[in-house]
């Protein structure tokens, strides 16, 4: 396959370098609204070529697949353009920011038979990988309640990131509504449980810092919610709660963290640890042991990659993580050994997922239908918060084709 990367910002370079190493990728191209960045990537990673813009790339026969790595609110329209041009698509999160955009993507994937994949890092978060296995084994019993949080203070690198991508008017977009970026929290829970959200009630916390970020009069979205909490009803009768926090006194550790409460056992993850409470054989079912499983989720061997000097040090953990004990690397190409990783060891798996999906013409684990279930709950949660927590139904577009057990 030949991949064209649309957008060569800080995040894209992680995947450009991995696809350059992948044995089933013949060529990697790039384009950017800032042409100098695309040129820098071409020289640094020895790319096959660059295009003047996305339109030129999509019109070219030089690429059969594209990766959309642009600003988060631009993904939906670009993905649709790419699918209409006959290209397979890898999209950074979120899938899109409206119900109509998400439905249009699913309709176009159904119509064309092309591959669509959303690169949700939490699907391969160590805690989620572990929980997915335990759910499959039935170790939790019935999981009746789950929690997924994405705790990332704006001062912890986000101001710098928005300034990097937003130019002089960066404050307009730094106020991006937290629940329109829900997949690091929701994707972890629903990446482990075989269910989906059917309704939501969400509370938004109005920001009070007064620095022009999360200011309704400045925000492109008229948004002043900096912290948001949502409670979802799930199709299996259970409940899920998620938090999206951007003003919070927390800095290092697990930005995304998850908890699963079952009738037989419970896993609780915090910013710096995790426990598993399990039944003890031969004893009353209410009694058991609480095991410290923190070590299973720590990533090791991460290295700060070259060429990331423009990344705020507070964000470097997203680009320099190793792998955790629960992440099985056996199916990854040997060329990825020693390559820089990120987001708690997920980058290698995501890069390989897309290549496998395109080259084998099979659906990736986070396909269009799964991506919709990771994204839509947040879109509706924002509307709920705007209606003072009103409980609103969440549309669902079905399971889609069966995913491979990669």
- Output the pTM of the full model: 0.95
Sign of the Cα pseudo-torsion (355, 307, 253, 167, in order): negative
Q: Which of the four pLDDT bands, split at 50, 70 and 90, describes residue 217?
A: very high
Section 374-395 average pLDDT? 98
Nearest to 202 by CA among 239, 228, 240: 228
Q: Is the pLDDT of residue 285 over 60?
A: no
pLDDT at 353: 98
Average pLDDT over residues 44-52: 95
Beta bridge partners of 294: none
> Would the pLDDT of 286 be above 60?
no
Mean pLDDT for the stretch of residues 340-358? 96
Q: Which of 130-144, 315-329, 352-366, 387-401 has the lowest mean pLDDT?
A: 315-329
- Residue 301 is predicted with a pLDDT of 81
Q: How far apart are CA 268 and CA 136, in angstroms?
A: 18
pLDDT at residue 284, as a whole number: 56
CA gap 172, 190 in Å, rounded: 31
Over range 191-213, report the average pLDDT. Answer: 97
- Long-range contacts made by residues 274-277, C-beta under 8 angstroms, separation at least 24? 274/127
> Cis omega (within 30 of 0) on the bond before 35?
no
pLDDT tens digits, residue range 309-323? 677 777 777 778 899
The dihedral region occupied by 389, where left means phi > 0, alpha psi between -120 and 50, and beta the remainder, is left
| 3-state helix/strand/coil string of 115-146 | CEEECCHHHHCHHHHHHHHHHHHCCCCCEEEE
Lowest mean pLDDT among 48-57, 118-127, 166-175, 280-289: 280-289
Closest residue by Cα to residue 63 from 26, 14, 114: 26
pLDDT, tens digit, 9 for 90 and up, residues 74-105:
999 999 999 999 999 999 999 999 999 999 99
Please give the structure tokens belonging to residue 258: 């998850």
CA separation, residue 221 to residues 173, 314, 318 (Å) = 8, 26, 27
pLDDT tens per residue across span 62-76: 999 999 999 999 999
pLDDT of residue 6: 98
The pLDDT of residue 164 is 82
Mean pLDDT for the chain overall: 94
pLDDT-based confidence at residue 9 (cuts at 50, 70, 90): confident
- Interval 235-282: pLDDT, tens: 999 999 999 999 999 777 899 999 999 999 999 999 999 999 987 666
The fold of 122-331 is: Dihydrodipicolinate Reductase; domain 2 (3.30.360)
Q: What does the pLDDT look like over 167-180, one tens digit per residue?
A: 889 999 999 999 99
Question: pLDDT band for position 360 (50/70/90)?
Answer: very high
Confidence of residue 147 (pLDDT cuts 50, 70, 90): very high
pLDDT at position 7 over 60 = yes
d(CA 102, CA 85) in angstroms, rounded, equals: 18
């Amino acid at each position: 396959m030949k991949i064209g990367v649309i957008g060569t910002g800080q995040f894209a370079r992680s995947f450009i370098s991995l696809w350059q190493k992948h044995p089933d990728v013949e060529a990697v191209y790039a384009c950017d609204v800032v042409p100098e960045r695309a040129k820098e990537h071409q020289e640094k990673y020895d790319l096959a070529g660059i295009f003047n813009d996305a339109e030129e790339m999509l019109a070219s026969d030089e690429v059969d697949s594209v990766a959309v790595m642009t600003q988060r609110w631009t993904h939906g329209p670009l993905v649709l353009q790419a699918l209409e041009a006959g290209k397979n698509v890898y999209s950074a999160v979120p899938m899109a920011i409206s119900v109509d955009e998400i439905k249009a993507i699913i309709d176009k994937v159904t119509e064309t038979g092309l591959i669509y994949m959303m690169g949700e890092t939490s699907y391969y978060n160590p805690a989620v990988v572990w929980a997915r296995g335990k759910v499959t084994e039935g170790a939790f019993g019935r999981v009746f309640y789950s929690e997924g949080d994405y705790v990332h203070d704006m001062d912890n690198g986000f101001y710098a990131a928005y300034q990097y991508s937003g130019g002089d008017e960066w404050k307009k977009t730094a106020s991006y509504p937290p629940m329109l970026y829900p997949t690091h929290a929701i994707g972890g829970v629903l990446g482990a449980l075989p269910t989906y959200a059917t309704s939501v009630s969400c509370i938004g916390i109005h920001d009070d810092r007064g620095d022009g970020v999360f200011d309704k009069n400045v925000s492109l979205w008229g948004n002043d919610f900096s912290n948001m909490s949502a409670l979802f009803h799930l199709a299996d009768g259970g409940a899920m709660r998620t938090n999206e926090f951007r003003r919070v006194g927390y800095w290092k550790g697990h930005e995304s963290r998850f908890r699963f409460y079952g009738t037989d056992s419970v896993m609780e993850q915090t910013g710096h640890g995790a426990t598993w409470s399990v039944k003890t054989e031969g004893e009353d079912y209410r009694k058991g042991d609480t095991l410290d499983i923190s070590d299973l989720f720590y990533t090791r061997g991460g290295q700060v990659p070259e060429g990331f000097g423009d990344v705020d040090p507070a964000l470097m953990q997203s680009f320099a993580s190793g792998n955790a004990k629960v992440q099985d690397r056996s199916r990854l190409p040997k060329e990825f050994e020693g390559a820089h990783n990120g987001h708690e060891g997920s980058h290698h798996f995501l890069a390989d997922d897309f290549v496998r999906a395109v080259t084998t013409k099979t659906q990736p684990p986070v396909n269009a239908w799964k991506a919709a279930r990771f994204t839509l709950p947040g879109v509706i949660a924002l509307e709920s918060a705007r209606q003072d927590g009103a409980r609103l139904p969440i549309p669902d577009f079905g399971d889609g084709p069966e995913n491979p057990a990669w």
